[in-house]
Structure 1
Amino acid sequence: MSSIAVRWAGPRAVLAEVPTLAEVLALHRRVTTQPLPGQLDAVAGARTVLVRFSGHEAAVSAAAALPHLDLPTPGRPGGRDVTIEVVYDGVDLDEVGRLTGLGRDGVISAHTGQPWSGAFGGFAPGFTYLVGEDRRLHVPRRTTPRTAVPAGSVALGGEFSAIYPRRSPGGWQIIGTTAARMWDLEREQPALVRPGDTVRYRAVRELADPGNSATPSGKRQGPAGPGAGLEITSTGLLSLLQDLGRPGNGDLGVSPSGAADQPSARQANRLVGNRAGAAVVENLLGGLSLRAHGDQVVAVTGAPVPLRISGSGTPRSPAMGHPFALLDGDLLALGTPTAGLRSYVAVRGGFDVQPVLGSRSTDTLSGIGPASLAPGAVLPVGAVRGLPPVGSPEESMLRPGAGTTELRITLGPRNDWFTAGAIRALLTREWRVTNQSDRVGVRLAVSSTDPTGAEEAGVLERARSGELPSEGTVAGALQVPPSGQPVLFLADQPVTGGYPVIGVVAAEDVSLAAQLPPGHLVRFLLVDPATLAPSALTAG
């Protein structure tokens, strides 16, 4: 009989839970070698496999099928053998020796004296959780995480060993340093270690290329130099290239990313006759200006902004949601949004920059994709041969206005980590978008106008303590850190997380959440994950 339990992770994803890491690896191998209908991605965690689907119906079918899957017999991983040279000079090596009772030399001997198996990815591109058989090296994470761990740091955390591919915050115990480049987009397989690989650490006195090879290659390619296209003369607060993202790379620690408001990005491409996945410019809070090199057809959607064209002839103000001509030398300027946050600029032919892992999107969390746009860069425009006709004008797809925005949410996968009062507060309070929000997530706090007037209403209290083993997350996940104030993940969300997710916003509403400015109020409407109908479930 199968030991797989299924938890909903929003209407388009399920979290399959199994008792042991060996069963995680077996289940992950099963769904990656024999994908379920409509499956987009499968991300292994310490005790779970998160499986994402293209639509709700596929997720419903998978939720029924997963508990009945026959898993392959656990065995030696079928990946590659990788040897990594390490100088054991880590700042926590003596502390790990004390915690384990092995001493400094004993830790080194135990770390190098066993094979380590690649279990799952996450946290950062190229960061692979490795598991060994020697339980003596199981050590707790640091009480206070470091704000910056150098690239190439070899570390232990819980039952795992791993190597930090890039400089980043981290709470693991650092025992050594390697020069191995863990992530390099110049390689055919960017990650040096992938799930299923077997790693052996080898102690050395010095590194062949210290402080250099360990620095990851993110291939942050910028736009081309002068030529036909659109030249950036001003970026405003932030302007990025985005398309529909790079799903399917979760095991590499790479999030899908893509446009934060995908319906608006699709609409912009539709208006100029592009395919839905063509690259567009995503602009935050206006201030973007572009000069045409050659005649172009352009459309702007998303957050409504005043548009102004100057250059050839009389200055004019084209309408949002309409395709319009931008003649050679013309300058298009975007003003401040009257609603929402993010506007999208599409050009007929799309912006023709080199894709990274199949996408032209900039991932602000991992650093993958084109660099943020800067004045002086010229974005080349692709060929227009064979494209559909330019589209007809359309109304804005943006729905948030004044007042409170309602977002549909399903409970889980970890709502059982919270008290009934916390769930009741989530569903009955008004929540305010804080100014500490970005493409990774929207941070929420209780509204100061909430009828209860209670400060504690903004804290979602846990029913249980302890650490949640790392598991996959999705865009729309409402993760609750120890502060008790929820964070709603957006396009650049981390692939895995260690804080419990109390609920997941419906995929159709995530783009709406991405357009909510600081101070805007939100209410959550509970829906059933299997039917998407308003749920009769109450919080108390």
Structure 2
Amino acid sequence: MRILTASDRSLLVEAADLDEAMRLNLAWDGVPGVVERIPGARTVLVSFDPVRTSAAALAAVLEATELDAEHVPHTREVTVPVRYDGEDLVEAAGLLGVSAEELVNRHLTADWQVAFSGFAPGFGYIVSSDPLFDVPRRSSPRTRVPAGSVALAGQFTGVYPRESPGGWQLIGRTDAVMWDIDRDPPALLAPGTSVRFERADRDVISSSAHSAPSENRDDTDDRRRVGARRADDTPDGLGFPAGAAVEVIRPSMQLLVQDAGRPGHAALGVSASGAADRTAMRDANRAVGNQPGAAVLESVGGATLRFHGDGVAVVTGAEGDLTLTDANRIARNIPHATPFATVAGDELALGHPTRGLRYVIGIRGGLAAASALGSRAADTLAGLGPDALAAGDVIAIGNAVAGAVDPLVQPRELPASGDLVELDITLGPRDDWFTASALQTLTTQEWLVTPRSDRVGIRLHGGVPLERATQGELPSEGAVTGAIQVPADGQPVLFLPDHPLTGGYPIIGALTDRCLDLAAQLPPGARIRFRIEEGQS
């Protein structure tokens, strides 16, 4: 067992093989101080609460683990009907040196078990004891893989829960629903599940289940599902829900409902997500007297909102011109990070940010959007939580009030485009995959924040790419928010809250927890210099 630093709040434990990683993951259930565990192909990522334990103390506990079982027990059994007509079936068989029919027959007769989850909610990495199944990924990933596609990569079989990009070899498809938020458990293929594939009759697989949604479809059901409704789609006939609400007049580039997120669901392939700037969310909620994790709005760029009913609101996070216009069209400027009263008909206009990137709008009572797995956070990668808000959406105000309004929010200095920002990092877990000169470049070169950035990650650009000492891809392993992942081109990607739980590119380092909120406010054009946290060499 080798234990590596993955961040200032997580360790990456290397196991001898996949089976040992699975058994270690199960053995560490209930270890004091552990917040989350993400098993990988040969590793387990263990995140911990620094208030309850330290990295050194936790490492000692993990190293002392004794494994009783020789193999991972099967938790339940699932049968998945497959129509073996995938685009890559013949090519995959050729790569393995067998006929397509033999590949299918061995896929049907092998004993399969879900090793771990990742990539997307409900995506299980399924492994068998048949040595045949070790297939390279496609040299060029597809931009669109239909939901229900059954695929091979490395030693794994997987089923795509939803349409997404992907580089696995497609051998078939199924109508089995991999992920259903209303099912218990939501993931059909959870870790430990025994899986048996069977041939599906040709008329079982419906083409409609895998077709793209119509651009003209009625989205009323979807909007109700996420808790946002059109202003003309309410049963009271008044044009907006009864009681206090907020209506979107003009959305920003991305206007989302966010809260403290949904930690604790990594075993289902679900990341914590939540507000990108947690400080701004907590400041907003404290300012208007809400519970700390009450749902807020997160806006990338300017937007206009209309208030229905009287209340109190505040804008934190990014800075820019804030204007409140009443029903008589009288406008006044609103100070940043200071709570203000609203009355029915008031419209709040947020200008383009001059500092920072993401506004956070807190409203007394919080937003009463529908929740998923105990959170109202919109996870843009997983497709969980409320959809991005559009013009005409109306969201009711909730009852998350905790106390009095607090006007004393501490000021923060956020960067503007062109500013240089220093961010503290820890090295690891895969810094040994890079040359000594690459490690020096990481911390001495300025990295530009490019426009190719979102809640999944920030794509950085430097004049000198990071050079690897070790080539190839890692077996899939866990990644934390703030991880600095380095693709083959040597230009890093800095992971934000909606990042995939697992990946195969090496991670050279990770931001310290206290720098995550600042990273979420980096606008395109800002420059970064990474600084290794004191005490780590």
TM-score scaled by length of structure 2: 0.92
What is the rounded CA distance, in whole Å, between the counterparts of 1:348 and 1:158 in structure 2?
51
| Aligned 1:139-158 pairs, distance under 5 A | 139-158=135-154
Contact 1:230 1:379 in 2 (8 A): yes
Match of 1:521 in 2: 527
CA gap 1:215/1:46 in 2 versus in 1, 3 angstroms = farther
Counterpart among 44, 49, 57 of residue 49 in structure 1:
44
Number of paired residues?
514
Secondary structure in 2 aligned to 1:26? Answer: helix
CA RMSD across the alignment:
1.9
Partner amino acid for 1:472? Answer: G
Contact 2:415 2:526 in 1 (8 A): no
What is the rounded CA distance, in whole Å, between the counterparts of 2:380 and 2:298 in structure 1?
13
CA gap 1:41/1:216 in 2 versus in 1, 3 angstroms = farther
Further displaced range: 256-265 or 215-224: 215-224
CA drift of 1:461 comes to: 0.4
| Aligned 1:524-539 pairs, distance under 5 A | 524-527=530-533, 533-535=534-536, 537=537
Match of 1:189 in 2: 185
Counterpart among 31, 34, 42 of residue 39 in structure 1:
34
1:489 paired with 2:495, answer yes
Q: Once the two structures are superposed, what CA deviation does each residue of 1:57-87 show, in whole Å capped at 9, x if it has no partner?
A: 6341212321111123133523110001011
CA drift of 1:210 comes to: 1.6
Secondary structure in 2 aligned to 1:8? Answer: strand
| Aligned 1:231-250 pairs, distance under 5 A | 231-250=247-266
Secondary structure in 2 aligned to 1:337? Answer: coil
Contact 2:322 2:350 in 1 (8 A): yes
Contact 2:3 2:59 in 1 (8 A): yes
| Aligned 1:349-364 pairs, distance under 5 A | 349-364=365-380
Secondary structure in 2 aligned to 1:292? Answer: strand
Partner amino acid for 1:52? Answer: S
Counterpart among 365, 371, 381 of residue 365 in structure 1:
381
1:502 paired with 2:508, answer yes
Contact 2:22 2:72 in 1 (8 A): no
| Aligned 1:380-395 pairs, distance under 5 A | 380-383=396-399, 387-395=402-410
Contiguous gaps of at least 5 residues in structure 2: 214-220, 235-239
1:171 paired with 2:187, answer no
Further displaced range: 475-484 or 369-378: 369-378
Match of 2:218 in 1: none
Match of 1:451 in 2: none
Contact 1:181 1:215 in 2 (8 A): no
Q: Once the two structures are superposed, what CA deviation does each residue of 1:460-516 show, in whole Å capped at 9, x if it has no partner?
A: 000011220000000000000001000000111111010000000111101101111
Match of 2:472 in 1: 466
Match of 1:450 in 2: none
What is the rounded CA distance, in whole Å, between the counterparts of 1:306 and 1:204 in structure 2?
59
CA gap 1:413/1:484 in 2 versus in 1, 3 angstroms = same
Contact 2:257 2:378 in 1 (8 A): yes
What is the rounded CA distance, in whole Å, between the counterparts of 1:59 and 1:149 in structure 2?
42
CA drift of 1:222 comes to: 4.4
Secondary structure in 1 aligned to 2:93? Answer: helix
| Aligned 1:279-428 pairs, distance under 5 A | 279-286=295-302, 288-312=303-327, 314-383=330-399, 387-400=402-415, 403-428=419-444
CA gap 1:93/1:209 in 2 versus in 1, 3 angstroms = closer
CA drift of 1:312 comes to: 4.4
Secondary structure in 2 aligned to 1:239? Answer: strand
Contact 1:245 1:360 in 2 (8 A): yes
CA drift of 1:399 comes to: 3.7
Q: Once the two structures are superposed, what CA deviation does each residue of 1:329-356 show, in whole Å capped at 9, x if it has no partner?
A: 1111111211010010011110011110
Secondary structure in 2 aligned to 1:124? Answer: coil
Q: Once the two structures are superposed, what CA deviation does each residue of 1:340-394 show, in whole Å capped at 9, x if it has no partner?
A: 100100111100111101110111111111010111111101126x621111232
Contact 1:85 1:207 in 2 (8 A): no
TM-score scaled by length of structure 1: 0.92
What is the rounded CA distance, in whole Å, between the counterparts of 1:94 and 1:490 in structure 2?
38
Q: Once the two structures are superposed, what CA deviation does each residue of 1:389-420 show, in whole Å capped at 9, x if it has no partner?
A: 11123233344356311000010000000000
Match of 2:273 in 1: 257
What is the rounded CA distance, in whole Å, between the counterparts of 1:215 and 1:11 in structure 2?
44
Secondary structure in 2 aligned to 1:442? Answer: strand
Partner amino acid for 1:526? Answer: I
What is the rounded CA distance, in whole Å, between the counterparts of 2:436 and 2:52 in structure 1?
30
| Aligned 1:30-179 pairs, distance under 5 A | 30-32=27-29, 35-55=30-50, 58-60=53-55, 61-179=57-175
Contact 2:19 2:72 in 1 (8 A): no
Partner amino acid for 2:408? Answer: P
Further displaced range: 139-148 or 8-17: 139-148
CA drift of 1:211 comes to: 3.5
Contiguous gaps of at least 5 residues in structure 1: 447-454, 528-532
Secondary structure in 2 aligned to 1:125? Answer: coil
Match of 2:228 in 1: 223
Q: Once the two structures are superposed, what CA deviation does each residue of 1:18-40 show, in whole Å capped at 9, x if it has no partner?
A: 011110110111123xx222222
Counterpart among 459, 484, 500 of residue 443 in structure 1:
459
What is the rounded CA distance, in whole Å, between the counterparts of 1:213 and 1:55 in structure 2?
46
What is the rounded CA distance, in whole Å, between the counterparts of 2:413 and 2:473 in structure 1?
39
What is the rounded CA distance, in whole Å, between the counterparts of 2:282 and 2:413 in structure 1?
13
Contact 2:227 2:368 in 1 (8 A): no
CA gap 1:211/1:254 in 2 versus in 1, 3 angstroms = farther
Match of 2:9 in 1: 12
What is the rounded CA distance, in whole Å, between the counterparts of 1:56 and 1:393 in structure 2?
27
Secondary structure in 2 aligned to 1:436? Answer: strand
Match of 1:452 in 2: none
Secondary structure in 2 aligned to 1:16? Answer: strand
Further displaced range: 328-337 or 211-220: 211-220
